[in-house]
């Protein structure tokens, strides 16, 4: 109000014109105050965008809040552009879908989309909005989340016995807090192979004690892990740590015997890695004995990576107890060795199957034959191995036995009593054919002598499709077709059926049976008459046996023109449409700044009248 007194002090009481000027100035100032309060207040509320954090390769989005405020100016043209690090981002509208940056409209606001984020995308982004003479700006920060930087300054603080103390300094977390540190060690003699310690270290620590295996010189490194991933490894410690030797702490695992080599007991195991040798002179001690015997036989297997021992025996599929121990110059392993049961070699079974015959309870089909026989005793010593099931051997009557085919039938009925009827089917046989069939027992590696031979004949089936179908002659009202018989007729061909359909685009008309269908089985050509000129037809042909119609072969043929006429074809234009309104809608939304200011005009006007009357009283 002091400014108002300064304004009106020099005006004389008799000057009504001066009062008019004063009132005009008051109203103008009130209007400007109203306009400034409404607009600048909204700008201050939305001067910052929401910060975004995203991983490398993901998509980030910034929503510009100034665009909603700028729309309140009415129908004035709005201009929006984006900045990164204070510099304008140039966005090619033709490359928005494939480009790194894209600007899109969303609910009346502009959105900046950053595709496939890179590390160098991290920084401050801004949206700049211009309306007439007014410009507003909002900024937000993008943090690119990525795996931490590798730790540094990794050191061996102490080394005593089998224990080492390590320290390190963490690298940058890169937007995601470091959760754990992974400590690794390697043998100096094999620096390319690294091993993790069992326990990871909490992300808020930078020292740790680690237990390392005996008999080795070790180096160390550290990796950091956050929610995004694992860092690259640190540099290797300059100081190494050497541990004293000791006896092995364990024996090999996965000990078993193999039965594939005749005349031998073959023992195999999984060799121990170098870290578990624990001392010089490492080797394996192999022990075996027949089941029920008290005395052990033993042999030393040298070679740090040895995994097999063979001992010559004469007992077919004999039962043995075996052990494999770890040993070095300090002694045998601390852990006692387990005893495993195993078998010596297998040989050809001497069991012949009895009662092999066709199964009369199930008639043959065109491609399947059914058989039955007496089930053997799986524990029969003449099996000379582990009983695995049966094999059906079969060959065509006019083929050599050397061309036998076989089908393995596993023993899926372990509770079936010996001598019971075992039934099986032989499928995928050619129809209308004669076969010789045998059955044999099978152990893991060999099969036994064959049973009696059974001769079977499969009935007729459906023929395959004819071969080489083509059109010999094409006129305006007829087509002559020619073909070759099916590769597999699966019976006696009784004849061929021919039909045709009109093809319209991708649609087929009704099937019409050709009058020339009544042909002899030896006919390999037919003429189809009474066709329309310049029409595309699909001709189908199928062979017949006593079992029925077989596979269909077809060919598409267009008849010739009787009179040439131009064909016209039209196309439908599909025009793209957009259901979303323009990003910059010029229509008023809710209440604009002008309507809000007009709501204050009665108060402004009343205040102006009071000022006017006071001026008059002064005058």
* Segment of 92-101, 138-147, 277-286 carrying the highest mean pLDDT: 277-286
Same domain, 230 and 180: yes
387-397 average pLDDT score: 95
> Residue 589 CA to chain centroid, in angstroms?
47
Give the pLDDT score at 175: 87
d(C-alpha 529, C-alpha 478), whole Å: 4
Give the pLDDT score at 441: 98
Tens of pLDDT along 460-518? 999 999 999 999 999 999 999 999 999 999 999 999 999 999 999 989 999 999 876 44
Same domain, 476 and 554: yes
d(C-alpha 481, C-alpha 591), whole Å: 81
Same domain, 314 and 391: no
Same domain, 364 and 427: yes
Give the pLDDT score at 95: 66
Same domain, 121 and 186: no
371-389 average pLDDT score: 96
Of the candidates 243, 261, 278, which is a domain's last residue? 243
Q: Are 234 and 168 within 8 A, CB to CB? A: yes
534-560 average pLDDT score: 94
Same domain, 488 and 475: yes
Q: Please state, rounded to an integer, the average pLDDT across all residues of the chain.
A: 83
Q: Are 332 and 313 within 8 A, CB to CB? A: no
Q: Which of 98-112, 318-332, 388-402 shows the lowest per-residue confidence on average (mean pLDDT)?
A: 98-112
Range 159-189 burial, b when 16+ CB lie within 10 A, else e: beebebebbbebbebbbbebebbbbbbbbee
Residue 573 lies in a domain: no
Residue 593 lies in a domain: no
pLDDT band at 1 (very low <50, low <70, confident <90, very high): very low
d(C-alpha 376, C-alpha 311), whole Å: 32
Give the pLDDT score at 593: 40
For residue 41, what are its two tokens?
């207040």
9 or 53, greater pLDDT: 53
**Cβ-based neighbours of 325, under 8 Å, separated by 6 or more:** 251, 284, 285, 286, 287, 332, 333, 337
- Rounded-to-5 percentages of helix, strand, coil across the chain: 15, 40, 45
pLDDT(163) > 60: yes
d(C-alpha 369, C-alpha 404), whole Å: 16
d(C-alpha 219, C-alpha 192), whole Å: 11
Same domain, 411 and 422: yes
Residue 29 lies in a domain: yes
For residue 374, what are its two tokens?
């007496």
Give the pLDDT score at 148: 94
532 or 6, greater pLDDT: 532
Give the pLDDT score at 306: 94
Residue 571 lies in a domain: no
Residue 311 is part of which domain span? Answer: 253-336
**Cβ-based neighbours of 276, under 8 Å, separated by 6 or more:** 213, 248, 249, 250, 326
Of the candidates 219, 243, 267, which is a domain's last residue? 243
Place of tokens 């000379």: 384
221-246 average pLDDT score: 96
Give the pLDDT score at 573: 27
| pTM value surpassing 0.75 | no
Q: Are 469 and 551 within 8 A, CB to CB? A: no
Strand positions, DSSP E, 317-418: 319-328, 331-332, 340-343, 357-358, 369-374, 389-396, 405-410
pLDDT band at 574 (very low <50, low <70, confident <90, very high): very low
pLDDT(451) > 60: yes
Tens of pLDDT along 24-65? 444 444 444 443 333 443 444 447 888 999 988 899 999 888
Same domain, 137 and 165: no
Residue 173 lies in a domain: yes
Write 590-599 long-range contacts (CB < 8 A, 24+): 592/72, 592/73, 592/74, 593/35, 593/38, 593/39, 593/72, 593/73, 594/74, 596/38, 597/31, 597/34, 597/35, 597/38
Q: Are 453 and 436 within 8 A, CB to CB? A: yes
For residue 488, what are its two tokens?
């597999």
d(C-alpha 70, C-alpha 35), whole Å: 14
88-107 average pLDDT score: 79
Give the pLDDT score at 498: 93
pLDDT(597) > 50: no
% of residues, the chain, pLDDT over 90: 65
359-385 average pLDDT score: 94
pLDDT(169) > 70: yes
Q: Are 271 and 282 within 8 A, CB to CB? A: no
Residue 88 lies in a domain: yes
Q: Are 211 and 163 within 8 A, CB to CB? A: yes
- Grouping H, G, I as helix, E, B as strand and the rest as coil, residue 527 is strand
Tens of pLDDT along 322-357? 999 999 999 999 999 999 999 999 999 999 999 999
Place of tokens 């160390």: 220
d(C-alpha 138, C-alpha 112), whole Å: 12
pLDDT(539) > 80: yes
State the CATH number of the domain containing residue 184: 2.60.40.10
- The radius of gyration of the chain from alpha carbons, rounded to an integer in Å, stands at 47
Of the candidates 423, 457, 491, which is a domain's last residue? 457
Residue 579 lies in a domain: no
List Cα–Cα distances, 357 to 190, 374, 394, 436, 460, in angstroms.
65, 10, 13, 12, 22
Same domain, 35 and 52: no
pLDDT band at 131 (very low <50, low <70, confident <90, very high): confident
Split into its structural domains, the chain has a count of 6
Same domain, 158 and 238: yes
List Cα–Cα distances, 308 to 255, 304, 335, 560, in angstroms.
10, 12, 21, 78
pLDDT(586) > 50: no
d(C-alpha 399, C-alpha 224), whole Å: 70
* Segment of 47-56, 95-104, 291-300, 568-577 carrying the highest mean pLDDT: 291-300
Give the pLDDT score at 604: 45
Same domain, 367 and 280: no
Same domain, 22 and 53: no
From the number of C-beta atoms within 10 Å of its C-beta (0-12, 13-18, 19+), residue 279 rates as: middle
> Residue 51 CA to chain centroid, in angstroms?
32
Alpha-helical segments (H) within 422-563:
none
Closest C-alpha among 426, 417, 317 to residue 376: 417
Tens of pLDDT along 103-125? 887 777 789 999 999 989 999 99
286-315 average pLDDT score: 95
d(C-alpha 393, C-alpha 406), whole Å: 4
SS (H, E, C) 100-133: CEEEEEECCEEEEEECCCCHHHCEEEEEEEEECC
Q: Which of 91-105, 172-186, 210-224, 440-454 shows the lowest per-residue confidence on average (mean pLDDT)?
A: 91-105
Residue 292 lies in a domain: yes
Q: Are 220 and 184 within 8 A, CB to CB? A: yes
């Amino acid at each position: 109000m002091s400014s108002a007194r300064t304004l009106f002090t020099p005006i004389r009481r008799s000057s009504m014109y001066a009062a008019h000027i004063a009132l005009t100035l008051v109203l103008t100032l009130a209007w400007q105050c109203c306009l400034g309060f409404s607009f600048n207040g909204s700008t201050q509320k939305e001067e910052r965008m929401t910060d975004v954090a995203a991983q490398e390769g993901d998509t980030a989005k910034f929503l510009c809040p100034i665009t909603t405020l700028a729309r309140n100016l009415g129908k004035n043209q709005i201009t929006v552009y984006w900045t990164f690090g204070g510099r304008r981002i140039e966005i090619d509208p033709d490359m928005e879908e494939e480009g790194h940056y894209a600007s899109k409209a969303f609910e009346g606001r502009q959105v900046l989309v950053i595709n496939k984020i890179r590390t160098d995308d991290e920084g401050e982004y801004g949206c700049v909005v211009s309306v007439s003479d007014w410009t507003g700006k909002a900024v937000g920060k993008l943090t690119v989340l990525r795996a931490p930087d590798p730790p540094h300054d990794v050191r061996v603080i102490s080394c005593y016995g089998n224990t080492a103390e390590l320290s390190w300094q963490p690298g940058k977390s890169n937007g995601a807090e470091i959760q754990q540190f992974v400590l690794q060690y390697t043998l100096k003699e094999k620096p390319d192979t690294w091993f993790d310690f069992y326990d990871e270290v909490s992300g808020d620590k930078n020292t740790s004690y680690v237990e390392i295996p005996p008999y080795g010189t070790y180096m160390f490194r550290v990796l950091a892990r956050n929610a995004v991933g694992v860092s690259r490894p640190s540099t290797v410690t300059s100081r190494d740590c050497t541990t004293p030797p000791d006896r092995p702490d364990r024996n090999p695992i996965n000990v078993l015997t193999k039965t594939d080599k005749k005349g031998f007991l073959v023992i195999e195991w999984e060799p121990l890695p170098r870290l578990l040798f624990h001392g010089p002179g490492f080797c394996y001690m192999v022990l075996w004995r027949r089941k029920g015997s008290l005395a052990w036989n033993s042999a030393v297997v040298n070679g740090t990576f040895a995994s097999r021992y063979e001992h010559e025996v004469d007992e077919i599929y004999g039962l043995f107890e075996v052990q494999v121990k770890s040993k070095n110059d300090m002694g045998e392993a601390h852990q006692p060795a387990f005893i495993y049961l195993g078998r010596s070699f297998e040989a050809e079974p001497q069991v012949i199957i009895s009662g092999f015959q066709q199964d009369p309870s199930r008639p043959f089909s065109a491609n399947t034959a059914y058989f039955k026989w007496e089930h053997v005793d799986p524990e029969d010593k003449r099996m000379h191995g582990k009983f695995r099931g049966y094999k059906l051997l079969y060959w065509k009557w006019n083929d050599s036995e050397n061309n036998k085919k076989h089908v393995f039938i596993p023993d899926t009925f372990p509770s079936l009593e010996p001598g019971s009827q075992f039934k099986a089917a032989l499928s995928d046989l050619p129809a209308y054919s004669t076969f010789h069939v045998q059955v044999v027992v099978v152990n893991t590696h060999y099969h036994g002598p064959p049973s009696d031979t059974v001769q079977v004949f499969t009935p007729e089936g459906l023929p395959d499709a004819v071969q080489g179908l083509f059109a010999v002659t094409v006129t305006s009202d007829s087509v002559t077709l020619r073909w070759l018989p099916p590769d597999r007729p699966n019976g006696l061909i009784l004849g061929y059926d021919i039909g045709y359909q009109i093809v319209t685009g991708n649609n087929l008309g009704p099937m019409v049976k050709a009058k020339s269908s009544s042909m002899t089985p030896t006919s390999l050509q037919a003429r189809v008459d009474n066709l329309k000129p310049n029409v595309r037809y699909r001709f189908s042909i199928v062979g017949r046996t006593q079992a029925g119609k077989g596979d269909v072969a077809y060919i598409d043929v267009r008849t010739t023109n009787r009179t040439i006429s131009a064909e016209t074809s039209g196309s439908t234009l599909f025009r793209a449409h957009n259901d979303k309104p323009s990003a910059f809608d010029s229509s008023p939304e809710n209440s604009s700044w002008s309507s809000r200011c007009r709501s204050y005009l009665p108060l402004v006007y009343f205040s102006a009248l009071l000022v006017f009357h006071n001026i008059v009283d002064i005058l």
